[in-house]
Structure 1
Amino acid sequence: MKIKEIIVVEGKDDTTAIKRAVEADTIETNGSAVSPAAIERIKLAHEKRGVIVFTDPDYPGERIRHIVSRHVPDCKHAFLPKHEAIEKRGRGVGVEHASIKAIRQALKDAQLVEIEAVEQITKEDLVDAGLIGGAKAKERREKLGEKLRIGYTNGKQLYKRLLMFQITKEQFAHALKEVLQEEKK
């Protein structure tokens, strides 16, 4: 599987994992303090070939994703559910611990994002679904993010991410239905 876009990762181990799974070029941010030089390389990469941000499913990874998105707003994003990125001994979480299959799926999902007019989800939809402000809101967001393959977010970021990934009301409703059915079990 060859990836046209350049993949932005956190470090060498992530690059190694990506190259085991697919044929791709990477830019390493070397941590969550993304340097101005790294931002310039990412901007150039985006102009020439496009960029997919693929960071760890943790706070530093989300921080890097946010910084890159601020400078390159229309880049693509690949997400790994946290359980697919945990080291076998449970000591760490990151792209470097994910299986080849999980990495390929996350990159495939990132490339399927199409920009088109869709009926947008509203913040009220999130409140009505119990995803913001409620006893089970955090758990529901976590499960919804996994089903939609957009990663875990807090309530405020969920709305932005649903819009960024052009999640339709139909996709949202289907995933939410699955989450609610699992709660009943």
Structure 2
Amino acid sequence: MIKEVIVVEGRDDTVAIKRAVEADTIETGGSAIGPAVIKKIKLAQERRGVIIFTDPDHAGERIRKIVAAKVPGCKHAFLTEAEATYRGDIGVENASPETIREALSRVRSEYDGEETLIDFNDLIEAGLIVHPNAAARRHFMGELLGIGYCNGKQFFKRLRIFQISREEFAAALHQLEEKGVYPE
């Protein structure tokens, strides 16, 4: 049984999670998260901890940001679009039980300290921002690091809040370059 309560978007996500692992969930019911749902998530965070596990799309990222802002200290699990897509539909409910278990094994914790392990210049030098191929490179790096895809500013923030070390960053960058996702 997973100790933390997993925050998902809807009932189908709960079914998929329960097929993969023994866990309790809280469903947000979409991106219009009401005060009652936030109150439940806060209580779960105080008592057991929370893992936010939303769809790898715009709505899922919006929900993740809302919950993380209102309930500090949450953990995060991420799926790639490919892992969560079935017949053009993107969602946690489309992922296989094995993929869900793998994503939950790579859960990342937030960190609110002031120390920044990677700086903005590192992202520029790696071709992850201010570059023609930056989006594709961030997408690949996000998958490798288990922090999901996002824009440059959010990517930088995630590197910090999930405590990505210089060593992890360098190893992922090396894999990215071996795959041939070079800056132009």
* RMSD, matched Cα: 1.8
Query: What residue is the counterpart of 1:132 in the other structure?
Result: 129
Query: What residue is the counterpart of 2:8 in the other structure?
Result: 9
Query: What residue is the counterpart of 2:81 in the other structure?
Result: 82
Q: TM-score, normalised by structure 1?
A: 0.93
Is residue 3 of structure 2 the alignment partner of residue 36 of structure 1?
no
Is residue 170 of structure 2 the alignment partner of residue 178 of structure 1?
no
Name the SS for the 2:7 alignment partner.
Answer: strand
Equivalent residue letter for 2:176:
V
CA distance in 1, matches of 2:88, 2:65: 25
Name the SS for the 1:124 alignment partner.
Answer: helix
Gaps of 5+ in 1: none
Query: What residue is the counterpart of 1:69 in the other structure?
Result: 68
Asked if the contact 1:145–1:152 (Cα under 8 Å) also holds between the matched residues in 2, the reply is yes
Q: How many residues align?
A: 181
Residues 117-156 of structure 1 mapped to structure 2, 5 A cutoff: 120-156=117-153
Quote how far apart the aligned CAs of 1:149 are: 1.2
Asked if the contact 1:119–1:169 (Cα under 8 Å) also holds between the matched residues in 2, the reply is no
CA distance in 2, matches of 1:55, 1:122: 27
Residues 29-85 of structure 1 deviation map (CA, whole Å, 9 limit, x = unaligned): 000111111111100000000000000000000000000010112100000011100
Asked if the contact 1:113–1:165 (Cα under 8 Å) also holds between the matched residues in 2, the reply is yes
Moved over 4 A (4+): 112-119
Cα separation, partners in 2 of 1:39 and 1:114, compared to 1, 3 Å: closer
Cα separation, partners in 2 of 1:160 and 1:119, compared to 1, 3 Å: closer
Equivalent residue letter for 2:139:
E
Higher helix share: 1
CA distance in 1, matches of 2:10, 2:52: 12
Name the SS for the 2:26 alignment partner.
Answer: strand
Question: Among the aligned pairs, what percent are the same residue?
Answer: 56
Cα separation, partners in 2 of 1:63 and 1:20, compared to 1, 3 Å: same
